[in-house]
Structure 1
């Protein structure tokens, strides 16, 4: 079965689904493959229908399903010094090399390779395959699919998100939130500052405010949480504005992100920020009625919170013998499943250390572990 799994990994990797490209060729391939077993697929498109999520129910359409979730997109390869074609899997020294083998096409490919076993098993409860788009640009696609799953299907027992964890059970991760704030001021000659409103200097105040928010959470850290760093982080990563040194700037924009701990509320940060924006906006408009501060959400993926005696974690304990969960610093679609009331864990083959870099690889031994694990999932769902 490992050979078949590797063949499927090679097939999924062969589709260049870099996030700026369509994933429809891969999704159509999966649909046609499943149709060969009489399994119907449901598409959930993006707005312009250039990309799609897919979910499919294998087995009876009843409560108690286990969702196997993976994203189909990968990060671009441009500018990276690969030793081989990133979209042709190379097996060497017990490793598979190719874009997406770790993050995270292998999990979905292994699940697809086991579809014949699922069909033969006479499942009593379903296995639900869920493939998403645009995870790499902010977990944008999955929420549309998750809402349809929650609306159309009997309630699943658990979701397993197959991001690379070296097959360890992960029950918590931080959220990922990205914002763009644009400040509109009023231009003037820099020798007459009182006639203008500086967008750059106002933006600087906002950046300093956000640094204060970071310090606020540093002082309220959770050293025993397993997270590194053990607190919610607030960070400004890009800023651009102004025209010339002697012109009071009319516009300045900056991007900022928040990596929130599962027990912190992102709304607390955004509400404090908006309150401060309102204060600055009122002050700016005393000199320039058209002045403004506007913040837009670029990406928002909630954290995955530990579930006390949660169904997903209990399932993983039963199937793997792992008694405790671990945490990871990166975000996944797990929190989005959790938001609609589906118990969720993250567990998949490969290491996140190999993701997003040239010569990305996964150990064949990790593929073998995942085959063994998903075979246990099939057996579990086949029991009455």
Structure 2
């Protein structure tokens, strides 16, 4: 099969993150086995989802890892004009959920691995496919743990998220948090005698906004990003039952998207101190008053130096002159920070098409990706 035929099969699997991806991974494992390639599945506790890892070539040296995720975002509530889980080719574009984010790259990487299996590689090629990337890079962590214990790790990694085939060296990390504001309930006719948790939450929102303003004014900056500084953003606020009850609890879900050079723990510490300053004066009358901040999940940023070996190597494969950084997060930060694998992001399509109805990747972008991977296999045969 060529990349397009493989992509057609991958798109047909509804691997929205809330669904199992095992059927897709079983198909990939079987397809690779038919080419004589052994692929290891790393299932989750339920067995319904799995990561996949496969190697072609000598196993006693590092080589290059191609990394992609197999889950996609939902299509509900979106106005699609083509079937989202059936590949549709039209006017030089390949439509379907996940074509650009990021089954297009996965298909090309699978095809490249099969092609590489027919060559006498001096340096190995690895394929890493994951699940649950779209909900915080959660699934890949068991694959990271496996590689951490492996006798030999890949020497370089290409994460094929959509960059229009530009070589991206960085993205911000993300930390998802929850602030639970505890007050005291009461009848709204006696509201001043109670402690309104929504009011505490509003005060904490003010703290978040003040922290963001401070970072924007005097924090570290990186002009390669559209927003050149670390951001702090509140996305969800919940509390209250009905208007005649003073609510005793409110919850705020918020996030930090930090430059790779910034430490989100320092920001969290400042927010905790500011939250304590809000409730401390209230405890004489309301001992239960609290704003508790908990960390839900996170993934690290990526900050590969522009002159790193992996950057020059992939630029040589694509013919690129410069580099970019991307606004969205990837699994690349985990490979870089947890495993020490130098990593770049380079894949077909644009995230401007991702997560939208009628998602597509252009045939031109797929051809450029295939050419990059062909050049990679040639280099691995020559023994880079």
| TM-score over 0.5 for the pair | yes
> Partner residue of 2:116?
118
Alignment partner of 1:144 is 2:123: no
Moved more, 281-290 or 10-19: 281-290
> Partner residue of 1:240?
238
Contact 1:185 1:284 in 2 (8 A): no
> Partner residue of 2:328?
330
> Partner residue of 2:10?
12
In 2, Cα distance between equivalents of 1:243 and 1:16: 37
Alignment partner of 1:278 is 2:276: yes
Contact 1:197 1:287 in 2 (8 A): no
Contact 2:187 2:245 in 1 (8 A): yes
What aligned pairs does 1:1-384 form with structure 2 within 5 A after superposition?
4-193=2-191, 195-220=193-218, 225-307=223-305, 309-340=307-338, 341-384=340-383
Contact 2:43 2:49 in 1 (8 A): yes
In 1, Cα distance between equivalents of 2:212 and 2:313: 37
Contact 1:232 1:260 in 2 (8 A): yes
Q: 1:306 to 1:232 in 2, by over 3 A?
A: same
Q: C-alpha displacement at 1:129, in angstroms?
A: 0.6
In 1, Cα distance between equivalents of 2:297 and 2:374: 35
Secondary structure at the aligned position of 1:20 is classed as coil
Secondary structure at the aligned position of 2:232 is classed as strand
Give structure 2 stretches of 5+ with no counterpart. none
Number of paired residues?
A: 382
Q: 1:149 to 1:32 in 2, by over 3 A?
A: same
Q: C-alpha displacement at 1:291, in angstroms?
A: 3.9
Contact 1:89 1:97 in 2 (8 A): yes
Q: C-alpha displacement at 1:222, in angstroms?
A: 6.1
Q: C-alpha displacement at 1:50, in angstroms?
A: 2.4
In 1, Cα distance between equivalents of 2:351 and 2:89: 19
Q: State the Cα deviation string for residues 118-139 of structure 1 (Å, max 9, x = none).
A: 1111111211111111111111
Give me the TM-score of the superposition, normalised by structure 2.
0.94
Contact 2:306 2:323 in 1 (8 A): no
Q: C-alpha displacement at 1:204, in angstroms?
A: 1.2
Q: C-alpha displacement at 1:224, in angstroms?
A: 5.9
Q: C-alpha displacement at 1:168, in angstroms?
A: 0.4
Secondary structure at the aligned position of 2:154 is classed as coil
Contact 2:172 2:258 in 1 (8 A): yes
In 2, Cα distance between equivalents of 1:78 and 1:102: 18
In 1, Cα distance between equivalents of 2:217 and 2:142: 37
In 1, Cα distance between equivalents of 2:28 and 2:281: 56
Give structure 1 stretches of 5+ with no counterpart. none
Q: 1:233 to 1:316 in 2, by over 3 A?
A: same
Give me the TM-score of the superposition, normalised by structure 1.
0.94
RMSD across aligned positions (CA): 1.9
Q: C-alpha displacement at 1:117, in angstroms?
A: 1.6
Q: 1:145 to 1:281 in 2, by over 3 A?
A: farther
Q: State the Cα deviation string for residues 187-233 of structure 1 (Å, max 9, x = none).
A: 12345456432211111111110101110111136666221111111
Contact 1:41 1:54 in 2 (8 A): yes
